Amino acid sequence: MNENRRAMVVLEDGTSFEGTSFGGFGERTGEIVFNTSMTGYQEILTDPSYRGQIVTMTYPLIGNYGVNVVDMESSAPQVEGFIVKEYSESFSNWRGQISLGDFLKEHHVVGVEGIDTRALTKRIRTVGAMKAIISTEVLNTKNLLEKARASPSLIGRDLVREVTCQKPYRWHLDPERDGWSTVSPEVGSPLGDGEALFSVVAMDFGVKRNILRMLQAQGCAITVVPADTSAEKILSYNPDGIFLSNGPGDPKGVPYVVDTVKDLLGQKPIYGICLGHQILGLVLGGKTYKLKFGHRGANQPVKNLKTGRVSITTQNHGFCVEIDSLDQRVTEVTSINLNDGTLEGMRHRWFPAHSVQFHPEASPGPHDANHLFSEFVQDMAKGKNA
């Protein structure tokens, strides 16, 4: 392949891998993690929740359907680096517009292929997610190891400021950007602003576009605001509900957001996803902790404790709310992860506030949990009719 050259990946425990670069050139550090999804690499690359991370795909062949404008979850790739077993330079899909390699090159993201991703994943599972470096420039293991160990940790770090919007904006569907995959058939067709039934303020911690599409499809007119927006400013929009979005990093790294949501609790219905769920957990008096290697993929089983229903869900998080830290008199645990028993959903017992750790909007992944957006709508409807 033209312009490809040697590249190295070095983990902070001294483990190293050598492969061939594709995409951009350079040197980047980040926390190295793995994702078990078989498809959806474009959505993974552009998910702001991956800011600060080098992503390894466990599925061996990546790039065979190219990249298109519709499947972007943000305006550009958010990862620090991308590692695959085998990169497909040729792509074949009726929606494909450019190759994955050209897409990464355009956005200066280093991709590495030819890595034993099975061995790398097993190392991460054994040791845990750790700091790492990916490089096409320096191929000296000792030098790269020093840089990896000197790089910043995700613990306590505010990555939300790097991905949140700079000023408030009204979300609108863009036919060229959103195309035919605007919403899943299960949630119906999107409504225009004039037809909107509810007004929602979405606090942007790194929100995925498909979440906004799904909310609009449920009849919501959405105003997206920066993460540091005050509670007073949010309430000045007179919303029917407040949405806490997904986002990267440690929830303890954004204490200003926790303080804001404390002020909002009980004022309006609140719904949180992923980082938004963790922030709500801190607001409700819970504690958060870092998982050994996180949950990242489209095959995580989640059990609803009320109905007994099991959904296969998409997830992307390295931190979690500790179940035992929640006051069960105040907070009801609504769902758990069947793999490890960790918290996946909760609801305040008397205020209209609930959240889930997984991604009901998927993108990529199964649509088992699409219906959960309707719970937020029901809370807003009750508030309007009260």
For 199-228, how does the pLDDT look when each residue is reduced to its tens digit (9 = 90+)?
999 999 999 999 999 999 999 999 999 999
pLDDT of residue 180: 39
Residue type, 25: F
pLDDT of residue 202: 98
Does residue 85 register a pLDDT over 70? Answer: yes
pLDDT of residue 383: 81
Tokens of 93: 């899909």
pLDDT of residue 63: 98
Q: What is the pLDDT of residues 139-198, one digit of tens each?
A: 999 999 999 999 999 999 999 999 999 999 999 877 666 653 333 333 334 445 557 899
Distance CA 147, CA 140 (A): 11
Q: What is the mean pLDDT of residues 256-276?
A: 98
> Residue 302: exposed, middle, or buried by beta-carbon count in 10 A (0-12, 13-18, 19+)?
buried
Q: What is the pTM of this model?
A: 0.93
Query: What value does the mean pLDDT of the chain take?
Result: 93
pLDDT of residue 251: 98
- Are β-strands 16-23 and 110-113 bridged in parallel, bridged antiparallel, or unpaired? antiparallel
DSSP string, 268-298: S-EEEETHHHHHHHHHTT--EEEEEEEEEEE
The enclosing H or E element of 9 equals strand 6-11
Distance CA 253, CA 164 (A): 14
Listed in sequence order, the residues at least 6 apart from 248 whose beta carbon sits closer than 8 Å to its beta carbon are: 48, 49, 50, 51, 52, 53, 78, 159, 160, 162, 163, 205, 206, 275
Partners of 367 in the beta sheet?
Answer: none
pLDDT of residue 196: 85
Q: What is the mean pLDDT of residues 24-32?
A: 96
Q: Is 105 helix (H, G, I), strand (E, B) or coil?
A: helix
Task: Determine whether 361 is an active site residue.
Answer: yes
Q: Which residue has the tokens 């949180």?
A: 272
Catalytic pick among 274, 295, 354, 367: 274
Does residue 354 register a pLDDT over 50? Answer: yes
Q: Judge contact between 370 and 214, C-beta under 8 A.
A: yes
Structure-model confidence comparison of residues 243 and 384, the more confident one: 243
Distance CA 299, CA 315 (A): 8
Q: Which residue has the tokens 């400021």?
A: 161
pLDDT of residue 186: 33
pLDDT of residue 49: 98
pLDDT of residue 227: 98
Listed in sequence order, the residues at least 6 apart from 86 whose beta carbon sits closer than 8 Å to its beta carbon are: 60, 61, 62, 113, 114
Q: What is the pLDDT of residues 309-351, one digit of tens each?
A: 999 999 999 999 999 999 999 999 999 999 999 999 999 999 9
pLDDT of residue 366: 85
Catalytic pick among 317, 348, 359, 367: 359
Which domains does the chain carry? 6-150 (3.50.30.20), 160-385 (3.40.50.880)
Does residue 2 register a pLDDT over 60? Answer: no
Q: Is 33 helix (H, G, I), strand (E, B) or coil?
A: strand
- Are β-strands 27-35 and 53-57 bridged in parallel, bridged antiparallel, or unpaired? parallel
Q: What is the pLDDT of residues 36-82, one digit of tens each?
A: 999 999 999 999 999 999 999 999 999 999 999 999 999 999 999 99
Task: Determine whether 274 is an active site residue.
Answer: yes
Task: Determine whether 320 is an active site residue.
Answer: no
Catalytic pick among 320, 361, 367, 375: 361
pLDDT of residue 182: 37
Partners of 270 in the beta sheet?
Answer: 242, 353
DSSP string, 162-204: HHS-SS-EE----HHHHGGGSS-GGG-----GGG--EEEEEEE
Q: Judge contact between 226 and 164, C-beta under 8 A.
A: yes
Does residue 32 register a pLDDT over 90? Answer: yes
pLDDT of residue 191: 47
* Backbone torsions φ then ψ of 189, nearest 5 degrees: -95, 150
**Closest C-alpha among 51, 373, 33, 34 to residue 210:** 373
